[in-house]
Amino acid sequence: MDLDQTFIQAPEHRADSNFIPNQPEEIPVIDLSRLNDPENIQNVISEIGDACETWGFFQVINHGVPCDARKRVEETVKIFFDLPMEEKIKVKRDEVNPAGYHDGEHTKNVRDWKEVFDIYFKDPMVMPSSTDPEDEGLRVVYNKWPQFPSDFREACQEYAGHAEKLAFRLLELISLSLGLPKKRFHEYFKEQMSFFRINRYPPCPRPDLALGVGHHKDADVISLLAQDEVGGLQISRRSDGVWFPIRPVPNALVINIGNCMEVWTNDKYWSAEHRVVVNSTRERYSIPFFLLPSHDVEVKPLEELLSPENPPRYKGYKYGKFYVSRNRSDFKKLEIQNIQIDDFKVVT
Ligand code: OGA
Ligand code: NI
């Protein structure tokens, strides 16, 4: 079957490129219930630190997000995505407000084989009204909620509340792993732009040519992803760029480092490229929670982590402007490659 041109990945980015199917090396799975044992706290913290440095990815189990809340949201969103398109586009995202349903997202200018629904954690949320660095205007944006299923909103908000709590717990552990005070990062989240997303990857007639999400790094601080049992998420290993699958572990959450944490730690912690491979028979769902700072935060390497031997590798950037610029290219194909974190690298 023919596939629309817009979905076709360049040969070097396709699912079979540089891929190790029989994962000889495991991305760590960390049991957070060990934090209840005072003798184990330091071990957990250093395992998290090692994972952030080596992979930029790890999974957590016994993480405190109740299975019931997750199950409820999974069941509810499936009812929504199974509705006819006329219903779904009633809550469609637009160029001004990125919340809601969308099926035309592009990553690196190639269309993704997926449908998404985006929900702000804070409703309303404040974001810059333009990408222009001189323009200080702000816009207040609201979530869009479908009429049906009627408990969509409640199920999503309940789950997001738990996910956010865990995000801040992990942020504290990450801070401790860097030798910083537990709450070192908290000041950056006064007007957090965090959001969460429901991804549905339909079966694809040509999984050899298209991807569910093309290779990318997350533009946030950390991401917490619930994936179902189908599998398809792959990450690129820091040391050599080889792709490894993230094995679905029941009730686990996949945690990864985003661009902000990479910049704050001056590249000590790694924001790994990742992508989603699709298949021709089974649909797949995933629910990421993206922890984002406030729009007015200037993201730059933390002074405490710098030294004459470790000079800053990034110029600072205003988080909100970076976010709205990134969003613009997600929405449609652009003629040029959109802004990436490497654009803020200090050239040495
Ligand atoms: C994302 C993402 C992975 C997945 O939405 O940014 O990387 O498994 N998703 O859905
Ligand atoms: Ni991602």
- For residue 257, give both structure tokens: 């480092």
333 within a domain of the structure (yes/no): yes
Give residue for tokens 């865990």.
166
Q: What pLDDT score was predicted for residue 96?
A: 83
35 within a domain of the structure (yes/no): no
Q: Tell whether the model's pLDDT for residue 251 goes beyond 60.
A: yes
177 within a domain of the structure (yes/no): yes
CA angle 153, 111, 208 (to 5 degrees): 110
Q: How confident is the model at residue 26 (pLDDT cuts 50, 70, 90)?
A: confident
Q: Which atom of ligand 1 is nearest to the CA of 290?
A: 6
122 within a domain of the structure (yes/no): yes
Q: Tell whether the model's pLDDT for residue 24 goes beyond 90.
A: no
27 within a domain of the structure (yes/no): no
Lowest mean pLDDT segment, chosen from 89-93, 102-106, 214-218, 324-328: 324-328
Mean per-residue pLDDT for 186-193? 97
For residues 163 and 169, the answer to whether their CB atoms sit within 8 Å is no
Mean per-residue pLDDT for 228-234? 96
Mean per-residue pLDDT for 272-291? 97
Q: What pLDDT score was predicted for residue 105?
A: 84
Q: Tell whether the model's pLDDT for residue 223 goes beyond 90.
A: yes
Question: What is the number of structural domains in the chain?
Answer: 1
Q: Which atom of ligand 1 is nearest to the CA of 286?
A: 10
In this structure, are strands 125-128 and 233-236 parallel, antiparallel, or unpaired?
A: unpaired
C-alpha 40/C-alpha 295 separation (Å) is 37
CATH number of the domain that residue 226 is part of: 2.60.120.330
Ligand 1 pocket: which of 117, 223, 235 to mutate (most atoms within 8 A of CB):
223
Distance 319 CA to ligand 2 centre (A): 18
Ligand 1 pocket: which of 276, 284, 326 to mutate (most atoms within 8 A of CB):
276
65 within a domain of the structure (yes/no): yes
25 within a domain of the structure (yes/no): no
Task: Provide, rounded to the nearest whole percent, the portion of the chain with pLDDT above 90.
Answer: 83
In this structure, the dihedral spanned by the alpha carbons of residues 228, 84, 158 and 181, taken in order and rounded to 10 degrees, is 60
Does ligand 1 have an atom closer than 6 angstroms to the CB of 286?
yes
Does ligand 1 have an atom closer than 6 angstroms to the CB of 213?
yes
Q: Tell whether the model's pLDDT for residue 154 goes beyond 90.
A: yes
16 within a domain of the structure (yes/no): no
Distance 36 CA to ligand 2 centre (A): 30
Q: What pLDDT score was predicted for residue 345?
A: 85
Range of the domain at 81: 49-344
